[in-house]
């Protein structure tokens, strides 16, 4: 869904955010959003690796 926005849509969103939050608050919001996204990616990567490890262990048990 997000890939359908395009460049003009992103520019419009940034302009609205600039008007609503102001130029001083916008970098703080961007930084917080980036940190949140980074933590989300890290958590999903950890969860995926945990599930993958469990599947590998289960396959080894079945083989024995």
Summarize the confidence of residues 20-49 as an average pLDDT. 91
Summarize the confidence of residues 30-56 as an average pLDDT. 91
**23 phi/psi in degrees, rounded to 5:** -70, -25
Interval 3-19: pLDDT, tens: 577 888 888 988 998 89
Summarize the confidence of residues 11-39 as an average pLDDT. 91
pLDDT of amino acid 3: 59
pTM higher than 0.75: no
Angle (deg, nearest 10), helices 6-21 and 26-63: 120
Determine which helix (DSSP H) or strand (DSSP E) holds 56, and give its type and residue range: helix 26-63
Alpha carbon 43 to chain centroid, angstroms: 10
Summarize the confidence of residues 46-58 as an average pLDDT. 89
| Domain spans in the chain, listed from the N-terminal domain onward | 24-64
């Amino acid at each position: 869904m997000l890939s359908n926005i395009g460049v003009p849509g992103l520019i419009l969103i940034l302009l609205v955010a600039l008007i609503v939050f102001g130029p001083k608050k916008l970098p703080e919001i961007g930084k917080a959003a980036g940190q949140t996204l980074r933590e989300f990616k890290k958590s999903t990567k950890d969860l995926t690796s945990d599930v993958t490890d469990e599947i590998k262990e289960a396959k080894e048990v079945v083989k024995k």
